[in-house]
Structure 1
Amino acid sequence: MLALGSAFLLWLAWPPIPFTAIILLIALVPILLAVENILTLESTRKGRLIFRTAFLCFVVWNTASIYWVINSLTAVMPTWMALFVAIIPFGLGSLLMTIAFWLYYRLRLVTTKFISYTGLICFWIGYEYLHQTWDLAFPWMNLGNGFAQSHYLIQWYEFTGVYGGTLWVLLSNILIFELYQALRPGDPGKLKLKFLSAGMILTPIVISLIMYFGYTEKSNPANIVVVQPNIDPYEKFGSLNTSAQIARMIHLSDSLGQSNTEYFIWPETAISQDTEEKNIRMEPNFIAIQAFLSKYKNGNVLSGIESFTMYDSQKTETARFNELQRNYYDVFNAAVLIENSPRVQFYHKSKLVPGVEQTPFSNSMGFLKPAFAAFGGSAGSYGKQDEPSVFYSQSGIGAAPVICYESIWGEYVGKYVKKDAQFIAIITNDGWWGNTSGKDQHLQYAKLRAIETRRWVARSANTGISAFINQRGDITQQTKWWVPAALKADINLNEDLTFYVKHGDYVAIAGSAGSGLFGIFMLFSIFAGKRNKKSVPGSGTDSTKLKLNQTKLPA
């Protein structure tokens, strides 16, 4: 019941439920109490019980919060198969969270409570960092993301990023739990814990509110238009003609465009026809877009595109072999910048969706490619680029082309800003998930990127929610779900770099290093314990010596 209590509180605090994020600061108290209760049991299976209890908590929370993943899977495979594949997002993150709590329990067996709490914080941050850096990355459920709906509470993310939020949640829960434990009569630590708990909760909130209401943007306007064409994602690659889709986006762009418009932002895969990059200038879609831009002196179209590049030999690990032409090629989920000149800029999505856009651990698990193809993914991974690149308009304005899934990586988005991006353009296609909380969570997470970088976000979604977000994280305009629409705004460009942009996920790196050190300490303790156990009386020669030296005492 305690495990389910924490799961409920975590779900209640999670976006898109408004005004509940503060609950995160106490949501882990029930599961901490459950672990403490298990530690007092007379049982040789405490570790198993703690593992099962923690896993129940986290799998219920994850499933309740990201249930919408099933929607995209059931569209491309049978329901039973979709439920099986969904174990990856629902179960893998839950398992890693559970391991962090189990390692905390193991620390409790060999060291003090204070050191064990420090280990729990490091293990949890280490899990989050792992889950954003390996081939099965899915950092959607990082604790720091939970404050996206209540962005006025975490303006200091410009210094720490979301890992600062994770640290705040863990420290607050530990202090509140200790305060609960100290509510016994006569406990001398009760008053001190009250002050520490209040300070840990209130100080970041007060600092954030001061920053929020005191923040002012430097005036440096640029006119931007974002387009939401509302094209069914399950039809755009088949029954709907590509030129008709382009015509719809041109019409929506033209309805709000003005003489000083710098960027027209179109969504992910807006140009859905496979386009060879070196020959794009001869494509009818390119010609139609340039004809549209002829009315706008400084106008640029930043659009998603399905592109490919041909090679004479296998130049990349992701290159596929073309049996007909006997050559190799890479396919990209890309962004393109088209302007009133022959110059064309491309960016290839880097953070690819595991199983759908890339084969996880492809070097060692290439045999899984046919399985992922059967699950609705690609028989081969998409090509990608390792570092972000910035698009520059004719007038020199730098835009960060962030494609869908990439928008939940704070440090990666910060790298665009380091390369002189003055605003963030998120292009996405959230319609795969249907009218669920998935599209709302994705929108809310974009607010975190605005705060971390102090950049405006122009968000163009195909069938999701398009929006403008200012440098404080406020949504200034947004569209409704499942309607064709366009928005325009004069956003303020920014060239200053925040502390977080300069230093990246230093909190996560420190936590991960700490988890490694605690892991080594725990292994050493276990090894030392086993060696000591061998010398404890009870068997062989040592037992005989003990018996010979025993003195009989009165009964």
Structure 2
Amino acid sequence: MKKNLLLALFSGILLWLGWPPTSYITFLLFVGLVPMLLALENIIQSPVKRKGYHIFLTAFAGFFIWNTLSIYWVYNSLKTIGAIIAIPLSLIPYSLGPLLMALACWLYYRLRLATNRSTGLFGLVCFWMAYEYVHQTWPLAFPWMTLGNGFAVSHQWVQWYEYTGVYGGTVWIWLINILIFLYYQSLKEAQTKAYRVKVVTAFTIALVVPLAFSLIRYYSFREQQDPSDVVVAQPNIDPYEKEGSIPVQQQIAILTHLSDSVAQKNTEFFIWPETAIAEQFDENKTQSTAYYRQVRDFLGKYSNGNVITGAETYQVYNRPATESARAIPGTNQYWDAFNAALLIENSDRVQFYHKSKLVPGAEMIPFSSLSFLKPAFEHLGGATGSYGSQPEPSVFYTQSGIGSDPVICYESIWGEYVGKAVLKGAQFIAIITNDGWWENTSGKDQHLDYAKLRAIETRRWVCRSANTGISAFINERGDIVKHTDWWVRTAIKQDINLNSDLTFYTRYGDYIPKTASFLSVLGILFIGVKWRKAKEQAA
């Protein structure tokens, strides 16, 4: 069994080496799962007892290595609360994903018992995509390690994400790995030459056709010319000093100075990072705040100017209007806090968007109805309750009719969610984020790389403002055409192209994982029926 464990661990290392932000060896993703498949096959074919138990543990070990090495930076965002708390909390994303991945492998084993290897492998891909879909929809969502994200560095290979989204990449990786595994097994099992030729032919088609299509699409792609001048500011304010050490008006002054340094009179958008306005204010009294007046004074120099900025806001209610509303002690009122985005323009109108995809633990309490979990999650950032949110994305429209999609930090990992705003009329994507919590680790680079996939899926420019970096402009092909360095105070300007055309993926969203999830449910029911019949026959 040590050999199988080593194979699984080797799989984890290969997947990590091929994972963003590593460049030039993305191809390792095409072989990274082969050792794992060999380990599972060895267990299935061995006389060992409790095979399902061994398969689950072996798969978990390999995928735990991959996840831990790839997202080690999660610990950095927690360590200020102390190692005693941070270490076990960081194990949640390190372990939860691998547990679900191992469950997919265990279901594959159970399906193999009831059918054959081919059906089992087809089921494995479906079970895996079902896990990925569950892991982006349930309260503990963390779709960071969705396999299709692995092509974020080599985005030239997956221009067809405009049809499939990242789940097309998941299918591609599994398909290539499975065909290599089958070829190896054909040699080991002395399969016929004709069978091996079929496998090699399938492998060649599966690898070459998507790659060739993508490269042709990439080099022949032309954007429609509809320019808009955009400025992205990167204030580089230490996230641990944003609230308290540096007055908010001073922070806004830094942002306006940076914006002025590169802007032109016809600049239409100034994009500032997440929580750029770091002191909470009542949304119903926005126009009376000193922060709003400071931004309006800045915009007075730009007749067509609009500011998209992050802010900490709240609303007060006379009743518990939302699930996240908290009682105000000593009153009959309730309030909601929001991680918000604002569009401020040269009028009295202010548009708000409330972050929807909240970070489990730090911004929302998963399974909040289970009150015994609250004390544990309160340690993640000190939240005593969940932020308020909104169920659907919003589109900010300027007076001139330009639509933008405000995307706050973590939300940029959800392809379908971003696509919904594009479907509503967004002509470009504005990502505002604060990646400083992760410090100078690969987390910030992965987050930037993933934004390239949103550009391809929707064929929209992405304008990314990150408090401490890396800020960037990404074109419709997914190329980073301009970017800042990490941990510098600066601003960059770019003429982007607005686009109103809709891609196939934008129209139909995550149809691939939804189909796979449906097939997985059927597969699980089939496994259950077979298991029950086997028990009845044994009795």
Listed one character per residue, the Cα deviations across residues 489-534 of structure 1 (whole Å, up to 9, x for unaligned) are 0000000000000000000100100110100000011011112222
1:12-27 pair list within 5 angstroms:
12-27=17-32
The answer as to 2:133 corresponding to 1:129 is yes
Equivalent residue, structure 2, for 1:545: none
2:70 to 44, 65, 79: 65
> Counterpart of 1:2 in structure 2: which amino acid?
L
Q: CA deviation at 1:86?
A: 1.0
Measure the CA separation in 1 of the matches of 2:491 and 2:245. 24
Kindly indicate whether the alpha-carbon contact (under 8 Å) linking 2:274 and 2:434 is maintained by their aligned counterparts in 1. yes
Equivalent residue, structure 2, for 1:372: 377
Q: TM-score, normalised by structure 1?
A: 0.95
C-alpha RMSD of the superposition: 1.0
2:120 to 101, 113, 116: 116
2:296 to 290, 305, 311: 290
Equivalent residue, structure 1, for 2:91: 87
Equivalent residue, structure 1, for 2:403: 398
Q: CA deviation at 1:191?
A: 1.2
Identity %: 58
Measure the CA separation in 1 of the matches of 2:502 and 2:155. 20
Q: SS of the counterpart of 1:356? A: coil
Moved more, 47-56 or 301-310: 47-56
Q: CA deviation at 1:464?
A: 2.4
Q: SS of the counterpart of 1:477? A: strand
2:389 to 384, 387, 392: 384
1:226 to 215, 228, 232: 232
Measure the CA separation in 1 of the matches of 2:505 and 2:27. 23
Measure the CA separation in 2 of the matches of 1:91 and 1:517. 27
Q: CA deviation at 1:186?
A: 6.0
Q: CA deviation at 1:413?
A: 0.0
Q: CA deviation at 1:326?
A: 3.9
Equivalent residue, structure 1, for 2:181: 177
Kindly indicate whether the alpha-carbon contact (under 8 Å) linking 1:357 and 1:377 is maintained by their aligned counterparts in 2. no
Q: TM-score, normalised by structure 2?
A: 0.98
Unaligned runs of 5+ in 2: 1-5
Equivalent residue, structure 2, for 1:349: 355
Measure the CA separation in 2 of the matches of 1:131 and 1:370. 23
Listed one character per residue, the Cα deviations across residues 13-69 of structure 1 (whole Å, up to 9, x for unaligned) are 100000121211111000100011111211222111111111110001100000000
Measure the CA separation in 2 of the matches of 1:433 and 1:325. 39
2:426 to 421, 428, 446: 421
Equivalent residue, structure 2, for 1:160: 164
Measure the CA separation in 2 of the matches of 1:514 and 1:281. 52
Kindly indicate whether the alpha-carbon contact (under 8 Å) linking 2:319 and 2:332 is maintained by their aligned counterparts in 1. no
2:521 to 516, 521, 526: 516
Show structure 1 runs of 4+ deviating over 6 A.
none
Equivalent residue, structure 2, for 1:320: 326
Equivalent residue, structure 1, for 2:279: 273
Measure the CA separation in 1 of the matches of 2:155 and 2:488. 27
Q: CA deviation at 1:242?
A: 0.5
1:456 to 441, 455, 461: 461
Kindly indicate whether the alpha-carbon contact (under 8 Å) linking 1:47 and 1:105 is maintained by their aligned counterparts in 2. yes
Kindly indicate whether the alpha-carbon contact (under 8 Å) linking 1:355 and 1:377 is maintained by their aligned counterparts in 2. no
Equivalent residue, structure 1, for 2:450: 445
Q: SS of the counterpart of 1:401? A: strand
Q: CA deviation at 1:78?
A: 1.1
Q: CA deviation at 1:80?
A: 2.2
Kindly indicate whether the alpha-carbon contact (under 8 Å) linking 1:25 and 1:201 is maintained by their aligned counterparts in 2. no
Unaligned runs of 5+ in 1: 535-555
Measure the CA separation in 1 of the matches of 2:175 and 2:382. 40
Equivalent residue, structure 2, for 1:150: 154
The answer as to 2:107 corresponding to 1:103 is yes
Distance 1:416 1:186, change over 3 A: closer
Greater C-alpha Rg: 1
Measure the CA separation in 2 of the matches of 1:251 and 1:322. 38
Listed one character per residue, the Cα deviations across residues 451-501 of structure 1 (whole Å, up to 9, x for unaligned) are 000000000000120000000000000000000010100000000000000
> Counterpart of 2:130 in structure 1: which amino acid?
G
Q: CA deviation at 1:324?
A: 4.4
Listed one character per residue, the Cα deviations across residues 300-324 of structure 1 (whole Å, up to 9, x for unaligned) are 0000000000001111110011114
Equivalent residue, structure 1, for 2:3: none
> Counterpart of 2:187 in structure 1: which amino acid?
L
Measure the CA separation in 1 of the matches of 2:216 and 2:405. 29
> Counterpart of 1:252 in structure 2: which amino acid?
L
Q: SS of the counterpart of 2:159? A: coil
Q: CA deviation at 1:325?
A: 4.2
Equivalent residue, structure 1, for 2:261: 255
Listed one character per residue, the Cα deviations across residues 399-433 of structure 1 (whole Å, up to 9, x for unaligned) are 10000000000000000100100000000000000
Measure the CA separation in 1 of the matches of 2:123 and 2:311. 45
Listed one character per residue, the Cα deviations across residues 236-275 of structure 1 (whole Å, up to 9, x for unaligned) are 0121110100000000011111111110000000000101
Q: SS of the counterpart of 2:78? A: helix
Kindly indicate whether the alpha-carbon contact (under 8 Å) linking 2:32 and 2:177 is maintained by their aligned counterparts in 1. yes
